[in-house]
Structure 1
Amino acid sequence: MTEATMEEMATSLKGRDFLSLADYTGEELRYLIDLSIRMKKQHKAGEIVQPLKGKTLGMIFEKSSTRTRVSFEVGMYQLGGHALFLSKNDLQLGRGETVWDTAQVMSRYLDGIMIRTFAHRNVIELARGSTVPVINGLSDLEHPCQVMADYQTVLEHKGRLEGIKIAYIGDGNNMVHSLMIGAAKLGMHIAVASPEGYEPDADVTKVSKENAAQSGGTVLVCRDPKEAIAGADIVYTDVWASMGQEEEQEKRIKAFRGYQIDEQLAKYAKSDYLFMHCLPAHRGEEVSEGVIDGDQSIIFDQAENRLHAQKAIMAATM
């Protein structure tokens, strides 16, 4: 990407929301990934880069978090700005004020808003009412910031994204939705294996396949974990019961029997495959201890890159 193209890209991203990877082109996503890698190198070298000096990010948390809270707050500090933590108990949202009114008011105080919530409609409504950029820190439909960190991690370890095969084994949740959309935009191959009734959203699958046809990637959704993982460069999973689904835990453990990523299943991937998990993990359920704690696991590189990927998103949009 030339300097002129990078300048054009930077200008085009300023002021935009970051709600879904579907809203961005493959070139824009790659620009943000490259920016996050550059910011990471600058930080490791001790360089002080503060493009958001004097700016404030409001962070709305309706769902608790470790990585999202710490990475956004630290990231904003490193960029020269200030992050304000707001739980649902700190806002009138919990007492009946509309998302629209909240967005209107917060836009008068803040330079950007991050929201981690249950319903994706809250993210959309917040962005509609806001006059400052809104970043989706997680919703029940997508987890775009996590996937930006994930694909940054893949690029760092594999040296490329185009043509890389990622196999996702498990629940067709918000995590896999963003993985599918991102892979399709970036020219990657993604194969997803889920039990009946737990497949990825049909509309997300349709859009991902359409994007993959244009980028040179492919999207496969199937039942058989062995089919999905065959020849994979990256093997990925997530918990079987996400936050808010705790009452389904026992039911899901039965439904996902045979979908654990263990040493036997991993043999179907490439010999130099890498294992990824967005965390938190339930060792002994969706993944064996031998895989997640093995030499081919890069889960903590992923976690670290949440900081840098989100710094790139904030710097570009805010």
Structure 2
Amino acid sequence: MRHFLTLKDYTKEEILEIIKLAQNIKAETKRGEYVPYLEGQTLAMIFEKSSTRTRVSFEVGIYQLGGIGLFLSKNDIQLGRGEPMRDTARVISRMCDMVMIRTYAQSDLEEFAAYSKVPVINGLTDEYHPVQLMADYLTMVEYGKEKDPIVAYVGDGNNMAHSWLMLASKLGFELRVATPKGYEPKEEILEDAFEFAKQSGAKITLLNDPKEAVEDADVVTTDTWISMGQEDEKEKRVRDFKGFMVDNNLMSLAKDDALFLHCLPAYRGYEVSEEVFEAHEKEIFDEAENRLHAQKGVMVWLDKHRK
């Protein structure tokens, strides 16, 4: 049985296999064919962090695959009253066929998976957001940007930066990560990425200059500077990230046909300008829709690898 906790647990071939499966399921959906790959199955969706795209995409996704989703906020279950994660896992995994968790600590997710009898999917933690990266890469494929791309990530060295590091180092493309000093990705995650890059041929560069990162890039991506739980740091972060907003001047350094991706929600005037966001709204909202299709691919793949 496999879980989907971070892309570092997956080979290049497995990642591409899931992407291909997602493409096929998306094509079926667009033709109005809802194949019940997970007929009669139940997906438990545990939310310690709220979400728009994660909630809608997983609940709609399991429904379109022939199953049903159970929305469980921490206040709906005993986690909110202090029940250990391992005990919650032992109960829910006896009653449901698959579990998606959106939480804070990666260690909590991993503890749940260790005691679960069914596949567990990371809907987001403070360290990784792998389902978002599957949607991002599916979008790159659809726009013809998957062949030896240069990807520039501009912003905070957060869970999105960590997940881009895993994707690039596994698939073997060039990734430039530009953060302000003091906001670099975690050292242990960088070590993993550089180790994987030795095998895949990926080129990973860490920078503090967003202009250097974006120069001739095929894909430019960013994320909010103030993630959930960091609201009290807003004023400091806005000061520290001065010059890191993806605006027309910065975007003009990328290739003329470069994609701009954002995992959303986007805060115009902070990490991205209104002009850049609206100029690239098509790929951004294709990317958002692809959360649905990529996650269906993940769920079906995990179901196939239960034994």
Bin for the TM-score computed over the shorter chain:
over 0.9
Q: Are the equivalent residues in 2 in contact too, given 1:163–1:217 (CA < 8 A)?
A: no
Alignment map for 1:67-82 (pairs within 5 Å): 67-82=53-68
Alignment map for 1:234-273 (pairs within 5 Å): 234-273=219-258
Structure 2 unaligned segments of length 5 or more: list them.
Answer: none
Deviations 1:29-49 (A, max 9, x none): 001011111111110011121
Instruction: Return the offset for 1:296.
Output: 7.2
Q: Are the equivalent residues in 2 in contact too, given 1:142–1:178 (CA < 8 A)?
A: yes
Alignment map for 1:54-73 (pairs within 5 Å): 54-73=40-59
What is the alpha-carbon root mean square deviation over aligned residues? 1.0
Q: Distance in 1 between matches of 2:62 and 2:234?
A: 36
Deviations 1:87-119 (A, max 9, x none): 000111111110001100111101011000011
Task: Report the number of matched residues.
Answer: 303
Deviations 1:253-289 (A, max 9, x none): 0000010111111121111111000000000111111
SS at match of 1:200: coil
The structure 2 residue matched to 1:308, chosen from 272, 293, 300, is 293
Q: Distance in 1 between matches of 2:192 and 2:207?
A: 17
Equivalent residue for 2:115? Answer: 129
- What TM-score, normalized to structure 2? 0.97
Equivalent residue for 1:11? Answer: none
The structure 1 residue matched to 2:13, chosen from 27, 41, 44, is 27
Which runs of 4 or more aligned residues in structure 1 lie more than 3 Å from their structure 2 counterparts after TM superposition?
none
Alignment map for 1:72-221 (pairs within 5 Å): 72-158=58-144, 160-221=145-206
| AA partner of residue 115 (structure 2) | G
Question: Given the superposition, is the C-alpha separation of residues 113 and 296 from structure 1 closer, same or farther in structure 2, using an over 3 Å criterion?
Answer: closer
Q: Are the equivalent residues in 2 in contact too, given 1:60–1:115 (CA < 8 A)?
A: yes
Equivalent residue for 2:37? Answer: 51
Q: Are the equivalent residues in 2 in contact too, given 1:273–1:296 (CA < 8 A)?
A: no
Instruction: Return the offset for 1:172.
Output: 0.4
Instruction: Return the offset for 1:295.
Output: 4.5
Equivalent residue for 2:279? Answer: 294
The structure 2 residue matched to 1:41, chosen from 15, 20, 27, is 27
Identity of aligned residues (%): 55
Q: Are the equivalent residues in 1 in contact too, given 2:260–2:280 (CA < 8 A)?
A: no
| AA partner of residue 142 (structure 2) | E
- What TM-score, normalized to structure 1? 0.93
Equivalent residue for 2:264? Answer: 279
